[in-house]
Structure 1
Amino acid sequence: MAESKQKKSSINANGTEISVLSKGNEDDFISLTDIAKFKNPEFPADLVKNWMRSRSTIEFLGLWEQMYNSNFKLVEFDQFKNEAGANSFVLSPQKWITHTQAIGLVSKSGRYGGTFAHKDIAFEFASWVSAEFKLYIIKDYQRLKAEENNSHALNWNVNRILSKINYKIHTDAIKLTLIPENVSKAHQGITYATEADLLNVALFGKTAKEWRKENPNLEGNHRDYATLHQLIVLSNIESLNAEYIKEGLSQQERLIKLNRIAIGQLHSLLDNLSVKKLESLN
């Protein structure tokens, strides 16, 4: 998992706090160490190792890796599977990851470290620890994902609404300044589309038509797939463009100015703490 994109949260399984690392999609990683503390609070790592000694566990881990990891080392996997069950056999998460190039387990060091596993694997481990405890984990994990989805939808809608409000200011400026009276609605639409694409090129580097050609399987337009940073900048340059239109600047002049402003604002927003807080809610 890319460390820079991880968000740490937690779930509460009947009183036990369990850490969750998320990248904003369904590929969350859940702490096996925290799950193990339910049974062995003093030595949770030993419980994880005991689980990994089982042949059935190794077969499950190997199957998961073969499904999702093209770099998984099958020869090393077969060796572990053959050794499983022997009294002398010991397998740690670190050893499994190092020898097989597994991606389903992650071993993190430090005070807040431990062993994390993809949620598919974490639920399997929870079943081994306690079937009842697994149900508590799943229930609160579902609550966490529902809250994340609701928060993401709320923040996205707020920014889309803000963008639409500014777009209204933008189109009103076009109507008052660039569109003469009695021009047909068809020709008005052409002018609006041209101005919208001026903003598209200034911010995204391509027109709506160019974006659709590059993304034939996606619905909507590139604004529907914009980042939070881009939506904020879009809102800003829409207002600026409305003022530039009133001032009588040509399209070429406005495009150059808006592009320069968009680049500068995007650079500024990348390190903005307030925007990072908004992103953490998504």
Structure 2
Amino acid sequence: MTEIAKEKKSSSPGYLIQSWMRSNATIEYLRIWEKIYNPRFQEAACDELIHTVKTTGTTLTPSLWISTTQAMGMRTSRGKGGGTTAHPEIATMFQAWMFPEVMLDLIQCYRMIQH
């Protein structure tokens, strides 16, 4: 995800990831993904985290999401070569959010396989 964000704005990729995580649609997507693939996902903690973010102005970061909910769809690392990585289904959603042409490609592919 950090590499995808660098394509758009190389100076602050972390900020772009945080901006994506401000969306209710993003959080619901992450929640659904984790419920499907992660038996350790803490849904009650997710609800509390969403409430805290909405009522206190806390910034939701990948690290906070992961540590609070036991999410496994994203990983973060610090230091040289660090950043945020994600399962391809999550990274693609982020990429589609950043680049409308990617979203259009996805929709066109989906429509083609429907016919």
Instruction: Calculate the TM-score normalised by the size of structure 1.
Output: 0.35
Distance (Å, rounded) in 2 between the aligned partners of 1:129 and 1:86: 26
| Total equivalences in the alignment | 105
Distance (Å, rounded) in 2 between the aligned partners of 1:86 and 1:131: 30
| CA positional deviation for 1:88 | 1.6
| CA positional deviation for 1:85 | 5.2
Question: Which residue of the partner structure matches residue 123 of structure 1?
Answer: 92
Question: Which residue of the partner structure matches residue 38 of structure 2?
Answer: 69
1:90 and 2:59 are equivalent in the alignment: yes
Matches within 5 A, 1:103-252: 103-133=72-102
- For structure 1, the residue ranges without an aligned partner over 5 or more in a row are 1-31, 137-282
- For structure 2, the residue ranges without an aligned partner over 5 or more in a row are 106-115
Question: Which residue of the partner structure matches residue 112 of structure 2?
Answer: none
Which AA in structure 2 matches 1:115?
Answer: T
Distance (Å, rounded) in 2 between the aligned partners of 1:89 and 1:38: 27
Question: Which residue of the partner structure matches residue 78 of structure 1?
Answer: 47
What is the root-mean-square deviation in Å for CA atoms of aligned residues?
A: 2.0
Distance (Å, rounded) in 2 between the aligned partners of 1:133 and 1:38: 13
Residues 59 and 81 in structure 1, CA contact (< 8 A), matched pair in contact too? no
Which AA in structure 2 matches 1:127?
Answer: A
1:52 and 2:21 are equivalent in the alignment: yes
Distance (Å, rounded) in 2 between the aligned partners of 1:50 and 1:91: 9
Distance (Å, rounded) in 2 between the aligned partners of 1:128 and 1:101: 24
Instruction: Calculate the TM-score normalised by the size of structure 2.
Output: 0.81
Question: Which residue of the partner structure matches residue 113 of structure 2?
Answer: none
- Report which of the two structures shows the higher radius of gyration computed on alpha carbons: 1
Residues 55 and 85 in structure 1, CA contact (< 8 A), matched pair in contact too? no
Query: Alpha-carbon deviations, 1:222-241, whole Å to 9, x = none?
Result: xxxxxxxxxxxxxxxxxxxx
The DSSP-based 3-state class of the residue aligned with 2:48 is helix
Match of 2:6 among 6, 13, 37: 37
The DSSP-based 3-state class of the residue aligned with 2:7 is coil
Distance (Å, rounded) in 1 between the aligned partners of 2:103 and 2:94: 9
Distance (Å, rounded) in 1 between the aligned partners of 2:103 and 2:56: 28
Question: Which residue of the partner structure matches residue 247 of structure 1?
Answer: none
